[in-house]
Amino acid sequence: MQPIIMLALVGVAAMAMSMGFLTNTFVLNVQTLGVAEEDLISPIKTANIDFTISKIPGVSPNNPSETVFKNRIIKCSFHTPTTLGPSTTIICKLTDADDDVIAEGKVVLARTLTGSSNYMLIPISQQAYPFSHDVQKVHDVKIVVLGPRPSTVAP
């Protein structure tokens, strides 16, 4: 008789615990948790990306006396039809086949970049390891555009 009582107690406890999980449903918008914060909105919808490639002399792995040229991505050329204001940050990230960032460059706009203006050149200034910006190692590019920091609202 005791196993039946224990089974009934376990069933009642499970039902009581699940009632709390079933009744407390709410929607949580993580972006609005801070005081005086707003939802994050992407500053751009589309972008065009080109690369500036430079050939750098190197040594052939098969013949050390032979000079070969290796192509390196030295700049990202960025253009968007959207007007971007001063203090906007544009980051160009080069990734490998494993989606790891292997090289990147960043530009912070000092003036307004209109949608009809020329391309913005972003120099690739950081590399994960020497010559990681080799064309053969880059699999994809990611562009991150950060708008200016929102101004604080006084209470």
Domain residue ranges of the chain, discontinuous segments joined by +: 2-32, 48-146
pTM: 0.67
Reported as a single tens digit per residue, the pLDDT across 100-136 is: 999 999 999 998 888 766 778 999 999 999 889 999 9
Work out whether the CA dihedral 62, 63, 68, 72 comes out positive or negative: positive
Reported as a single tens digit per residue, the pLDDT across 134-150 is: 999 999 999 999 887 76
Determine the Cα–Cα distance for residues 23 and 73; give it in Å rounded to an integer: 56
